Amino acid sequence: MHRFTTSARLVQSKAGQPVTVSSVTKAVRGLLTTARYTLTMFGLSAIAMLAVLYTNEDVAKRVSQLLHPQQPTIVVTAPAAPAPVATTEAVAEETTHAASHPALANTKQQQWVTDWLSKRYRVASDAANMLVSTAYMTAHEVKLDPLLILAVMAIESGLNPFAESPVGAKGLMQVMAKVHHDKFAEVGGQQAALNPVANIRVGALILKDYVKRTGSVEGGLKTYVGAADLETDSGYGSKVLAEYRRLKQVAKGHKVPTVTRSVPTQTVVSKPAEAPPAKPTVATAEGGQAAETLAGL
């Protein structure tokens, strides 16, 4: 009995204050409450930090560098080369290069011509661009004015690569494949008559040949349409030259209406066999020089 009473008594703390079961329970509860609040604050702080790292890339990079420091990488760069000095020789070389590649110098001109022809003849922009580019490249190769080639294409077929006349003239420039089979032999044969690239090239070669033979662009156009032995070409040459003049204005950046009183679509003229070469005369020789100037030869 004495021992039980003694163990149930209150023990004295180091400070001399009694320690009871209830006080210990309260102390433990206080510690748990404090720990809970502390963990809650740490959790909220961690969430806030994650939000900052997620929304701010710079802060995330800095934290990553602090946690995982990396050795600095030393990059050795070669000194920049001095800028080239423009010289007269360099300018002359660039000018020569542009002259030998007219497509580079005439990009803006070609775009104006393409846009105008596309609207005038209701041809898709991509298709018109291909036809104009081909005409310019062909003109450079055969030494003929590209705008004259385009004018013939416009009057002959309305820029329709599959046009065909009742007498067998085919393609953009309405070429008689049977008559000019020798020229088509170089581009794939007569079956290539409806190939836009082949048709434009053969047509340009024929036109250049006729201009040289007759000594003038007008005479060349008259022969081209098959009216060499006739008194008149029924206005064909006038239509081509009128379209040629309009294209020249367009190529200069001028505003030219795309609709006129009579927009030519396709000229169907019976084209006989190739006319025999004209006998050279003094007048023909003199006229040839003027024709070459107009046609861009």
The pLDDT tens digits of the residues spanning 181-204 come to 788 788 878 788 889 999 999 999
Distance, CA of 292 to CA of 143 (rounded, Å): 9
> Is the pTM of the predicted complex or chain greater than 0.75?
no
Mean pLDDT of 220-245: 95
- DSSP, res 106: T
In angstroms, how far apart are the furthest CA atoms of the chain? 158
Instruction: Provide the pLDDT for residue 4.
Output: 44
* b/e burial code for range 187-206 (CB count within 10 A of at least 16 → b): beeeebbebbbbbbbbbbbb
More confident residue, 219 or 268: 219
pLDDT digits (tens, 9 = 90+) for 242-255: 999 999 999 999 99
Query: Are the C-beta atoms of residues 180 and 206 closer than 8 Å to each other?
Result: yes
Q: What is the pLDDT of residues 31-73, one digit of tens each?
A: 777 767 776 666 666 555 655 555 555 655 665 565 555 554 4
Q: Are strands 175-176 and 11-12 parallel, antiparallel or unpaired?
A: unpaired
CATH number of 106-295: 1.10.530.10
Contact 182, 274 (CB under 8 A): no
Residue 122 has pLDDT above 60, yes or no: yes
